[in-house]
């Protein structure tokens, strides 16, 4: 299975009562369907998965499964701390038609889970029981655990572990993994500010929160890279730099949702304790997205 291209980990739309907002989800997905995005990741960190109940996740998978255009590859964010719950969710997503599962590194019991062998044990146990292939998901800025490149290299030999989404932004680690994994194992990145450099060193794709609000810009970088048009890729990378920083690092999901509202998608409110951006943050975002419509 090829995971090339750009995937948004889609934001979860809530109404003003904080309930899932099905109509707006449909609206967003149908709008993204008309872009060059390669597919969708449903219930990732940007989807506020840690704020969702299991029932809500299942509903989201079903809805996106219904609204996504044919040809858009569907991945489900299914990682939980325990192997058993992760397997159960993964196989539920598989039944709903998802092609792969993005599984976050377990991390709560850090003193034990920071060990490479415990990470490897978890992913092997999940992959052994999962009915669809697994993409490892590493975001140490949130989890506080950074899976070692060596552990990823080892896991790349498991037949049901096919990729990693590395969101640290650490290009040296991305390069090391590309060198050391089994041929065919796919390294995707999750950091828009370093998208183009990551592609130049061999990443095959990216799962980018930023792509929720600015799919065109991210797909343009991808396509310019494929066409070996380095100047265009660099230029667009430059153009998204400030906006990508604001809605990923600085203002997070609430900032991204505001940018979606600006750009013709439904962003809406995050769930508490996340709160909409302040007036000042909104101004920063507006300014950064002025020339990044659509």
Regarding 23 and contact with its own copies (CB under 8 A), the answer is: no
Calculate the dihedral angle through the C-alpha atoms of 90, 93, 99, 103, rounding to the nearest 10 degrees: -40
Cβ partners under 8 Å of residue 142, min gap 6: 45
Our answer to whether residue 72 is catalytic in this structure is: no
Q: Are 95 and 120 in contact (CB under 8 A)?
A: no
Least Å distance, CB 69 to its own copies, is 30
Q: Residue count at the site for its own copies (CB under 8 A)?
A: 58
Q: Could you say which DSSP state residue 157 is in?
A: T
Applying CB under 8 A, does 250 fall inside the site for its own copies?
A: yes
Contact flag: residue 227 with its own copies (CB under 8 A): no
User: Is the CB of 84 or the CB of 283 nearer to its own copies?
Assistant: 84
> What single-letter DSSP state applies at residue 192?
G
Measured at the CA of 35, the angle between CA 200 and CA 174, to 5 degrees, comes to 25
Q: For its own copies, which stretch binds (CB under 8 A), given 3-11, 23-31, 251-259, 285-293?
A: 251-259
Comparing CA positions, the residue from 61, 59, 6 lying closest to residue 222 is 6
2 vs 110, beta carbon nearer its own copies: 110
Q: Which of 14, 33, 32, 36 is nearest to 24 (CA)?
A: 14
Alpha helices in the chain (DSSP H): 22-32, 54-67, 83-95, 110-113, 116-129, 140-143, 149-155, 171-180, 195-200, 215-226, 230-245, 252-262, 279-289
| Site membership for its own copies, residue 69 (CB under 8 A) | no
Question: How far apart are CB 18 and its own copies at their closest, in Å?
Answer: 6
CB of 180: closest distance to its own copies in angstroms? 9
Cis, peptide link before residue 273, omega less than 30° from 0: yes
186 to 225: interface string for its own copies, x by CB under 8 A: -----x-xx--x--xx------------------------
Q: Which CB sits closer to its own copies, 76 or 178? A: 178
Out of 111, 183, 184, 280, the only residue in the binding site for its own copies (CB under 8 A) is: 111
Q: Which of 165, 250, 257, 282 is catalytic?
A: 165
* Footprint on this chain of its own copies (rule: CB under 8 A): 18, 45, 48, 50-51, 53-54, 81-85, 106, 108-113, 118-119, 121-122, 125, 141-144, 169-172, 175-176, 179, 191, 193-194, 197, 200-201, 230, 234, 237-238, 241-242, 245, 249-250, 252-254, 271-275
- Residues classed as catalytic: 165
């Amino acid at each position: 299975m090829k995971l090339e291209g750009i995937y948004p980990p889609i934001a979860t739309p809530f109404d003003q009562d904080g309930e899932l907002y099905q109509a707006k989800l449909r609206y967003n997905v149908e709008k993204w369907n008309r872009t060059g995005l390669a597919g969708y990741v449903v219930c990732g960190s940007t989807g506020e998965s840690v704020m969702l109940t299991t029932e809500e996740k299942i509903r989201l998978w079903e809805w996106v499964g219904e609204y996504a255009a044919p040809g858009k590859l569907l991945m489900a964010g299914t990682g939980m701390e325990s192997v058993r719950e992760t397997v159960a969710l993964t196989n539920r997503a598989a039944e709903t038609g998802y092609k792969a599962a993005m599984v976050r590194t377990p991390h709560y019991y850090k003193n034990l889970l920071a060990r490479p062998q415990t990470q490897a044990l978890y992913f092997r146990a999940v992959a052994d029981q999962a009915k669809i292939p697994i993409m490892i998901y590493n975001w140490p800025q949130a989890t506080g655990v950074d899976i070692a490149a060596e552990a990823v290299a080892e896991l790349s030999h498991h037949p049901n572990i096919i990729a990693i989404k590395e969101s640290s932004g650490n290009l040296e680690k991305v390069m090391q993994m590309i060198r050391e994994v089994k041929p065919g194992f796919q390294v995707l990145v999750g950091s828009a500010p370093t998208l183009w450099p990551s592609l130049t060193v061999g990443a095959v794709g990216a799962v980018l929160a930023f792509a929720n609000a600015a799919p065109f810009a991210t797909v343009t970088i991808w396509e310019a890279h494929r066409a070996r048009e380095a100047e265009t890729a660099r230029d667009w990378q430059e153009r998204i730099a400030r906006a990508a920083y604001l809605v990923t690092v600085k203002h997070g999901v609430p900032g991204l949702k505001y940018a979606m509202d600006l750009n013709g998608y439904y962003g809406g409110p995050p769930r508490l304790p996340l709160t909409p951006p302040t007036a000042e943050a909104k101004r920063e975002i507006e300014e950064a997205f002025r020339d990044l419509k659509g």
